Amino acid sequence: MKIIELPDDERPREKLMARGAWFLSDAEVLAVLLGSGRSGRNAVETACVWLRNSGGLRELLEAPRGTHAIGTATWCRLHAAVELGRRCLNHHVDGTTDTPLTTPEMASRFFKSQLAGYPFEIFACLFLDNRHRIVSFEKMFSGTVAGASVHPREVVRRCVELNAAAVIFVHNHPSGQPEPSAADQAITARLRESLDLIEVRVLDHFIVGDGTPISMARRGML
């Protein structure tokens, strides 16, 4: 059955306009982005097949280009949509004077939205003023699936440029295992020592993986 043959309240686009995107299933969201179906299936049926074959939405979006019969244009469209969401969330944080990240739980959700799903490691910094209001959130270093090279000198330089008084670090583990490694603890200690020299406080270091991000401060590792 074609999408146009479905009742109005079952068509993804109409449902989105009437009730909002949050009412759509994963398959319906994908169907809106697809616009049309593939191989004799409508867009919703095509999305359901892709989700079933890949094992879920996250697995679908993390799959290499060319898998699950997704063409290049569609693959680019899906990844652009994910990045658009990340940048929209970042826009609400970057440059604001009233931080919305008032609790570790809120910070944890924001960090997961920004770094989860990347197939390589990214190290980011949340720069704060002396009242712990957000100055900027920046993804500063990226690397491979095994790690990213973090340069304390660059973090110090950026703190000075932004006149930051405190900073929270965050990086992802592409493996999905968020437990802090010995290397994570070592670079945190190096960064803290470097920032102590310019009187910038390190408040926390979050590790993003599967599930809830881990706070090293809560683990007593800072």
Contacts of residue 167, Cβ cutoff 8 Å, sequence gap at least 6: 125, 126, 127, 128, 155, 159, 195, 200, 201, 202, 203
133 lies in the same domain as 199: yes
Asked whether residue 129 falls in the same domain as residue 158, the answer is: yes
Domain ends where: 36, 52, 86?
A: 86
Reference 145, options 170, 120, 123, 124; nearest CA is: 120
93 in a structural domain: no
Question: In this structure, are 52 and 143 located in the same domain?
Answer: no
Over 90: is that where the pLDDT of 31 sits?
Answer: no
Query: Residue 137 forms beta bridges with which residues?
Result: 126
In single-letter form, the type of residue at position 154 comes to E
Q: What is the pLDDT of residue 97?
A: 47
CA-CA distance, 103 to 193, in Å (whole number)?
25
- My answer on whether 60 and 26 are in the same domain is yes
Task: Answer yes or no: do 70 and 115 share one domain.
Answer: no
Q: Are residues 69 and 118 in the same domain?
A: no
Rounded Cα–Cα distance for residues 44 and 2 (Å): 9
Q: Is residue 220 part of a domain?
A: no
Domain check: are 180 and 136 in the same one? yes
Number of compact structural domains in the chain = 2
28 and 64 in a single domain? The answer is: yes
Q: In the predicted model, is pLDDT for residue 94 greater than 70?
A: no
Please identify, among 86, 118, 145, the residue that sits at the C-terminal boundary of a domain.
86
CATH number of the structural domain spanning residue 199: 3.40.140.10
pLDDT at 143: 83
Same domain for 208 and 126: yes
The angle formed by the CA atoms of residues 29, 76 and 108, to the nearest 5 degrees, is: 65
One domain for residues 78 and 178: no
Domain that holds residue 152: 98-215
CA distance 183 to 172: 13
Q: Where a domain ends, among 38, 56, 86?
A: 86
The per-residue pLDDT for range 123-154, each reduced to its tens digit, is 999 999 988 888 888 989 988 766 778 999 99
pTM of the model: 0.66
Give the chain's mean pLDDT: 83
